[in-house]
Structure 1
Amino acid sequence: MNDLSNGAGKRQAETALSLDAFYRALFGHPNFLVYVIRVLPDGSFLFEDANQPVAELANRPLDEVIGARPGDCLVPEIAECLEANLALCVETGEPRVYERSIDMPDGRLSWKTNLLPASEGGGPLRHVVGVTRDVTFERTLAGIADNSQALIRSLGDATSNVIYLFDLKSRGIRFSTGQHNMPLGYDPAEIAEMGDQMIPRLIHPDDVATVQEHVAGLANLPDGEIATVGYRVLHRNGRYRHHLSRNIVFSRDSAGDAELVLGVAEDSTDQDRMEEEVRALSERLLTLQIEERRRIAQELHDSTAQHLTAAGLALARLVVNLPEMDPGSEQAAQLGQARADIEASLHEAKQEIRVLSYLLHPPVIESHGLREAVRNFALGFGDRAGLEVEVRIGEGTELIDDDVSIALFRVCQEALANVHRHARATQVTVALEIEQSTISLCVRDNGIGFDQSTLSAAAQSGIGLAGMRERMTRLGGSVQIGGSGRGTSLTATVPRPAQIRPSAS
């Protein structure tokens, strides 16, 4: 038994780190200034031992440091600070930790120092062990972080926007600006205290699901990509404000997952209201345009066309009442040609008025539906204008809502009016289709086409093309025009609602 105990003790002694080995390892570390200070009877201090980094700080050989007082070998600022803290360590008998930064020829340096009192057998304190570490780089990074945070706060306070860091793990705000202007009426500390309850407490109930879906998607957001979401948020005054947030990944955890997201929240309430007012004004102008067209069409039909008919009758009476003349005479021939020319002009004028009146006052879509309104209008236009018109309408168009139906029909109306005015076409195709992601209306003719300068001039000369684009833009769609010497095509598209299936191919 004793042999076993002796063997275990021997192995423990062999594996235990000796104090001398620890001492050598600590003194040999290149990033630590390690030194032993002897406390002299008069209360002064000198270096009893030190490692090479201490000599480098003192800028002298190590043997000139050992045995010297701190004030004799160190920069005065460093020596005074060290001796003051050594005195406190000796006086209290407690360890001390302090940091100090000073300006050196190579720049500003920062150190963190630990002083450990060492006494033997409870006698007076004779030695203090010091370990000093250069923390300049750490303090520089901390200063940069503080300055960056101050800059972000200043930017946030100088604008009505809120800049924030959102923690995807806790679902709370880690940092936010706006403590001075408080655009929502809440102090940033109040927002932070809400934690993961911030979204259900402040976001409008109808927008909570949208915001939560947006937040869930941020976890998979690639670096450098911006995600945007609009929502209504509760102001302290009890009213909801419209906001638009843009988010980008700020930092990731050790596993590479998004951890913090940087966001900028912009109050878009006033902008949304102005845009709505502009849309309402634009819609009113378009409505006035339609009403004015109907009035002009009625005038053309009821007044101008009747005047032309009366002129034709008057011409016939004039011819009947002319004195008799030799049918073979030159005078009779000239009179006959003049009559034929006038009658042809009257016929063309009445035909033009008939077409224009129809274009300006088309069938009422509200009573016909989009499918029948487009078909009847296009075919009626062809009959009056003397054009060959083909109409192709896909299945499901009867499910298109009123706003989209009216907008597409007005585009069809304007496009056919442009064909009549400019194209010199003989054939027109009108196609209304429900595609995979869009509802499209295409009007294509075989006319003379156009060049880009002609299109630009047409876009600036009236509200026809601008009106079409305004209608489509309001619905999230677009208008595309293409053309060459073989004709022109105009295609208007709007997003397809989920409840409407694509037309069968």
Structure 2
Amino acid sequence: MQRIAGVEGQGELSYERALELIHPEDRPRLIEAAQRAAEAPDGRWAVVCRTVRPDQSIRWVAIRGRRLYRAGGVPEASLGTVIDITALKEAEISLKAMNQRYQFALEAAKMGTFEIDHRRATLSVDPQMARLLNLPATVEQISLEKHGAQEIQSVETLISTLASLKSAGSGQPIEVEFDGEGSASRWVRLRADIKDDRIFGVALDTTRERQDAQILREKEARLRVATEAAALGVFEWNPETDVCLWENDRIYEIFGRDRASGPLSLSDTLSAHLHADDRNHILERLQRAVRRNGKIHLIGELINNKRSKRWLEVTGRVYQSDAVSKRLVGVVSDITRQKRLRARALRLAVQVEQVQQIERRNIFQELHDTTIQHLVAASLMVSELRRADENTMNAAMSALESSLSQAIKEVRTLSYLMHPASVSARNFPSAAAHYVRGFSTRSGLECSFRCDRPVTEFSSAALHTAFRVLQESLTNIFRHAGASKASIQVRVINRNLHVIVADNGPGIDKHVRRKTSALPPVAGAGLKGMRMRIRQVGGRLALTSAPHEGVRIHAVLPPRAVS
């Protein structure tokens, strides 16, 4: 006792001195326990408290005592024992702190613990497990016999799941779905250990994980649909191992391989499928992107197994999963068609420029050969008038007036023919008829126009092309045909738009017509321009003629422009 209290050599202490050895916070409990013993029939009392040694160290002790009485019930003394339980109390405190930390960890991880005792027919849960089972947080134990599986659906689900877990083997994880509040459900992953009639286990809330996985699957599905719709091949390249993963069927199609043959490494892909002039450049660009963790966009010429040249576009980005590993994730697209269309557009642009140059030369030649000649003649007549007498004055004035009138007429007609008109599906017949009447008035040619039905089903591109065919045909009649009459028909046959322009001129002989069909310069830029415009919308042009029978131009245009 002296060693426990730290008062070696002091075999006897006063009550006040002995009370001072008790921790100040525990003295009231000790006094209260002693007073209760005075009222107890057997005079027994017990208390656990702390003692403070003279060196200020604290020890935990368990005190048990009993009051002794003389005859007549007079208290004589108290006998008791004191046990040092410091080690046991410290272990209890440490265990309590550890359990508290464990609970904090379970709550942070959204994990709950449970225990099923089949012998006692009880289910014990912690607050987190109660929440997972949609039970009040204050519930700690449930009697399985009292409540039954019908009253608590989540408990029934847990019991049935653990039964299957028991048959599968102890410790195997399994996921189960619990009904949540309203229409929401909660997914829980269970892991349990079975010992005789008791089951100990933990439960992890995986609802958010399941939701995120479902969102990820939906995004992957949408991405897969988008890449398939865009005809994109998807790949992943490891720069360290030079291993390429080909993620979808499209990339195999682009490189002319099947899945059974498997993907190629980057070096093999470059050597087998990329043009020799592009290999070093592409490899350098890829290595630079890996060093800088950047993006990459490059275009190269592809040679497939059929040895036909195609063009390839690669777009990707380098990702670094950790301090060392890097991945290049990207898409591959076959842009051969776009390349060919761009090349064709450039060729068409050059042809349009050539046609414009020819048209300008023709306008110059037309003005030089006709209008300027009339103006030169008028100038000569003015000079002659200065020297003329009264007898020749009237004849010269008449000739001058005729030359000027002819020049004005030609300029007005040419400018009218070159003026662009605004047409649409609604006003095309009236705009074309108005244009033909204006041409007839200015040129002096007798013109007829016929449009047998509405053309509302035709695209604006087709109608603009039809109107340009009308303009170019009338221009050629005015310039070259030497005709006095012209007829224009706009008809719809088999859903195609037919524009037919004919004149009563001397026509073209067979030799010249053959050259015109081949579009040589002698045919002029008008027919060449018409044929180019008609081809751009998917139509066709035919020219027929014979000596003394005039010329007939027949254009056929589809309802919608076709590339």
**TM-score, normalization: structure 1?**
0.46
* Larger Cα-atom Rg: 2
Tell me which of the two structures has the higher relative contact order, counting C-alpha pairs closer than 8 angstroms and 6 or more residues apart.
1
